[in-house]
Structure 1
């Protein structure tokens, strides 16, 4: 799935003076453009007249190479870290990556009335963001992080989309290295911010969960002093997270917290629970499966309460929320159920998905791809996953696909349920087994759940199986 990074909305224009003010750059040869700049963009394929093209430089590419091309397509302005030989007005800045951040921060500062939520965590970010989008959009226009635009480039690109009518913004912040959340939350200047959990996603970059906790806790340094910090009550790192909070106001969620779910009834594709909050309690019918999504809903409620949303609006927003694509989407196909959970994976979300599958009807098959970014602990994490997944009561078969499938298989064989698991290095090798499972269990219904890290593209294997059965 390719996430679009361009918005179709009409953006607030920029003046040449504002670009200089925001970036502290200067016009090459004192040649400033005339007229308004309709948008700033980083994708050369979409640059046209009225745009300013910002040339980023990565490890394997340098967008300065495309400036002549964008000039030819009618774009009149480029933001560059060094002048290039092209017939185009050039705003020269010290570093285009940082200039993008300065532009995003400038746009944010132009909206002082905006109520901003920032959230991070090892898992659940996208779901909580979608739930908050459902709650807030009922009340007023809200800017919600699109796709995975949650890093040092994606966050300022989202801020550039702020418009006068927006009253709320929900910004998802991801961390792939220490200092990234410090940087992005400083751009965002949230009124309310918090961590959902400290898991094992990106374990490799941080050298352990303590490092992940430190990196994510950077979010609390930039919450408005009069704002609210949100913390998970039951996380392993709850004490360390609380110690990073710098605001007087704090709201906790989850078991033992200020906002929590009780009397939970998990159903195959939904859940019912009582949401308890300092503002009262409500019975909620949540259109999401799994106990982990009940906790996500409690987190979303805490963030919403913290920016002054009433309990009735929170309840209505949660009950009408829709899941993001590739996040536990239920697809009925012939007599079988396909659960598309292919958007991404980490060890905690894999285990949560297994519990959801175990609640479904028929023969239950879990098809998993590799989990990335686990660093030196990858083989051990996959081993433990294999051991745990085959032990989930109600799962009949586990099919592991990818370079770590042998480690998953070893873990499965350390239990009495080893025969439940089959391992394959490639999707092509796994497909015939999945087809034969469907054929040998005819006419019974089956429930297949597909999940893996983004780079494994497990949705391809799911589509291939649907085509063949």
Structure 2
């Protein structure tokens, strides 16, 4: 199987002239290096001989301070925003962050035959990307956004990994501020692009869902005019989304769209349904749990059809797809089930996770960490989550973190308040979870762990699993 995520093949080299041309920079004292430059790196710890170290400057750090360190490691080339008094080849550019974008765009332009998909959305991006990766990488070498390299630094870093054999690229674009997707989609130059949904992730930065819709709709501005815009037909912002479209062709997914699932059967760890498309209807056995993953499969099907993939190849790709680490991974230990959904969280995905847990066996326990980036509405969002989660088909909800008390208040506003326990720290929650297991022995239990990335809910899951 061709996949870029574990590739050890060498990257396409750069010449000193190409670097200067791409970045619109100049070699300090006309002191350009000879020979090929193998990689461009922003992490000083990994820069070595043959690499060019690009010194980024952030609010709290300045990588120009690490140039002596990369010289000591054998790296002889640096891309800088001002000359430094160190003996190293220096390509001086106006702004190293923008230079990284120029380099990514330059590399992208060198691959005119590459077919590029770009996608964004408040939830489901990673899973939809993995589904598309499974569909496409069977057919030809495919570059797929790795991890969360989906911002104004990560997207050009991914583009730098393009190689001659790549025929497809699946680029995930994230938005943490207005203008970011406009910038990254311009670098990516997609043939097919679209939004999965407008949710409540990053509410704080955008001041409401209208702002999120505006930010994500920027993805439609840079699609090849002959390309196709993908539209979420079910989304309540679909009319605003359609106004941002500039291509003649569109393809929509979800109820009321061109690509939609019917006869949906949700099982504990999978789903069966009929996928209805303009090119025919097919039965799919999806190895992912939850209705939200059926929606992700609808989206993946629409994106794949739009770049000319056959329905047969889409079915094979979806039926053999694997989830990303920390995305609804099912782990059996003793006679208990642990569902690792700790990669990240937003209010929509937390509710979807509870629905998946409700389908499992035995005593069902949802362990939820805080959700970040909600701004001023954080306490209210956690209150509403607490209220809604206890009403779903789970036996216990264990909230952990700063906003656990807000979630507990929400739970207590319903008749199911006794289902929830709140703890400020994982250390406080662990003994309660252990006591739950002891109380319910010998019954089997199903635990689902989920929270925003910074909460590291996988640590609490691992601590509990160690006790068995």
Counterparts of 1:255 and 1:321 in 2: how far apart (Å)? 23
Render the CA deviation track for 1:120-139: whole Å, top value 9, x for unaligned: 00000000000000000010
Counterparts of 1:314 and 1:8 in 2: how far apart (Å)? 27
Counterparts of 2:30 and 2:165 in 1: how far apart (Å)? 35
Counterparts of 2:6 and 2:466 in 1: how far apart (Å)? 32
Moved over 2 A (4+): 5-9
Which residue in 2 is equivalent to 1:30?
A: 30
Which residue in 1 is equivalent to 2:365?
A: 365
Render the CA deviation track for 1:81-112: whole Å, top value 9, x for unaligned: 00111111000000000000000000000000
1:9 Cα deviation from its structure 2 partner: 3.1
1:7 Cα deviation from its structure 2 partner: 6.5
Which residue in 1 is equivalent to 2:341?
A: 341
Asked if 1:436 is matched to 2:435, the reply is yes
Q: Aligned with 1:275: secondary structure?
A: strand
Q: Could you tell me which runs of 5 or more consecutive residues in structure 2 were left unpaired when the two chains were aligned.
A: none
Render the CA deviation track for 1:331-379: whole Å, top value 9, x for unaligned: 0011000000000000000000000000000000000000000011111
Q: Aligned with 1:262: secondary structure?
A: strand
Asked if 1:217 is matched to 2:254, the reply is no
Which residue in 2 is equivalent to 1:397?
A: 396
Alignment of 1:248-263 (within 5 A): 248-263=248-263
Counterparts of 1:230 and 1:220 in 2: how far apart (Å)? 9
Q: Aligned with 2:225: secondary structure?
A: coil
Asked if 1:374 is matched to 2:348, the reply is no
1:6 Cα deviation from its structure 2 partner: 9.9
Counterparts of 1:6 and 1:313 in 2: how far apart (Å)? 22
Which residue in 2 is equivalent to 1:96?
A: 96
Which residue in 2 is equivalent to 1:409?
A: 408
Which residue in 2 is equivalent to 1:82?
A: 82
Counterparts of 1:118 and 1:284 in 2: how far apart (Å)? 24
Q: Aligned with 1:46: secondary structure?
A: coil
Q: Aligned with 1:79: secondary structure?
A: strand
1:68 Cα deviation from its structure 2 partner: 1.1
Counterparts of 2:9 and 2:212 in 1: how far apart (Å)? 35
Q: Could you tell me which runs of 5 or more consecutive residues in structure 1 were left unpaired when the two chains were aligned.
A: none
Counterparts of 1:438 and 1:157 in 2: how far apart (Å)? 45
Which residue in 1 is equivalent to 2:457?
A: 458
Render the CA deviation track for 1:268-301: whole Å, top value 9, x for unaligned: 0000000010010110000000000000000000
Counterparts of 1:252 and 1:54 in 2: how far apart (Å)? 40
Give the count of matched residue pairs: 465
Alignment of 1:151-300 (within 5 A): 151-300=151-300
Render the CA deviation track for 1:404-432: whole Å, top value 9, x for unaligned: 00000000000000000000000000000
Q: Aligned with 1:468: secondary structure?
A: coil
RMSD: 1.1
Render the CA deviation track for 1:290-324: whole Å, top value 9, x for unaligned: 00000000000000000000000000000000000
State TM-score, norm by structure 1.
0.98
